[in-house]
């Protein structure tokens, strides 16, 4: 069993993930109720935030978005580097998925207080197109979310196949166990975002 050390890119991604988790926890602490509904269906320009907390929500959401973009850049550099082993690249891939999940998808959900709504069932009053960050960067945020679902649940077989091939050729690396742990973190995050798919597709 290979017990190689973490690559510098992996350490960087873990630090980013930790920072993203902190912003997510702050969202859960400071947002104590759902965004106040004021006809929150339809065009975003017709639905301002009547509770006056749009500044706080942006303060909680945007660090996660920026950190996610930073994580993508670091991952791409490591993926294209010849100095990174296959296990490093695959581990980085799964850490990146966790960063995108928490920083790009879940934190906006929590910062808008939607857990207080959807924990009791579904609602069509909270159109994501009328909430931050969609009102600010619309298709960019939406496209990032769609990309995550593609990478995390459809194309996931690709890194898994590479992991199997690498294990056969070079022996099993503990990093694959760590990668599985980061992948499970995604499901743990979604456990705290009830009816996320229903809300996102609204």
Ordered per-residue pLDDT tens for the chain, 202 residues:
555 689 999 999 999 999 999 999 999 999 998 887 665 555 555 555 667 788 899 999 999 999 999 999 999 999 999 888 999 999 999 999 999 999 999 999 999 999 999 998 888 778 888 889 998 998 999 999 999 999 999 888 899 999 999 999 988 999 999 999 999 999 999 999 999 999 998 7
- Distance between the two ends of the chain, CA-based, in angstroms? 47
Question: Could you list the residue range(s) of the whole structural domain that residue 114 is in?
Answer: 8-200
- On whether residue 141 sits in a domain, the answer given is yes
- On whether residue 47 sits in a domain, the answer given is yes
Distances (CA, A) of 18 to 72, 96, 103, 179, 185: 15, 12, 10, 15, 12
How many domains does the chain divide into? 1
Quote the pTM value: 0.91
Q: How far apart are CA 37 and CA 47, in angstroms?
A: 9
- On whether residue 1 sits in a domain, the answer given is no
- On whether residue 164 sits in a domain, the answer given is yes
Q: How far apart are CA 69 and CA 90, in angstroms?
A: 18
- On whether residue 2 sits in a domain, the answer given is no
- On whether residue 74 sits in a domain, the answer given is yes
Distances (CA, A) of 53 to 47, 56, 101, 161: 14, 5, 23, 46
- On whether residue 129 sits in a domain, the answer given is yes
- On whether residue 89 sits in a domain, the answer given is yes
Which pLDDT tens digit goes with each residue over 140-176? 999 999 999 999 998 888 999 999 999 999 889 999 9
């Amino acid at each position: 069993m290979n017990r190689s050390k973490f690559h510098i890119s992996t350490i960087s991604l873990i630090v980013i993930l930790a920072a993203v988790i902190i912003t997510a926890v702050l969202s859960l602490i400071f947002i104590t109720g759902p965004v106040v509904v004021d006809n929150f269906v339809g065009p975003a320009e017709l639905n301002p935030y009547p509770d006056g907390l749009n500044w706080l929500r942006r303060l909680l959401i945007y660090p996660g978005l920026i950190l996610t973009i930073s994580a993508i850049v670091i991952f791409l550099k490591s993926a294209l580097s010849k100095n990174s082993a296959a296990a490093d690249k695959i581990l980085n891939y799964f850490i990146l998925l966790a960063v995108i999940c928490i920083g790009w998808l879940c934190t906006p959900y929590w910062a808008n207080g939607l857990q207080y709504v959807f924990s009791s069932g579904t609602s069509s009053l909270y159109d994501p197109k009328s909430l931050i960050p969609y009102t600010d960067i619309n298709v960019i945020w939406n496209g990032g979310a769609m990309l995550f679902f593609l990478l995390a649940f459809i194309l996931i077989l690709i890194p898994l196949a590479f992991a199997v091939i690498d294990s056969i050729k070079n022996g099993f690396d503990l990093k694959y166990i760590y990668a599985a742990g980061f992948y499970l973190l995604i499901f743990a995050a979604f456990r705290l975002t009830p009816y996320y798919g229903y809300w996102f597709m609204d």
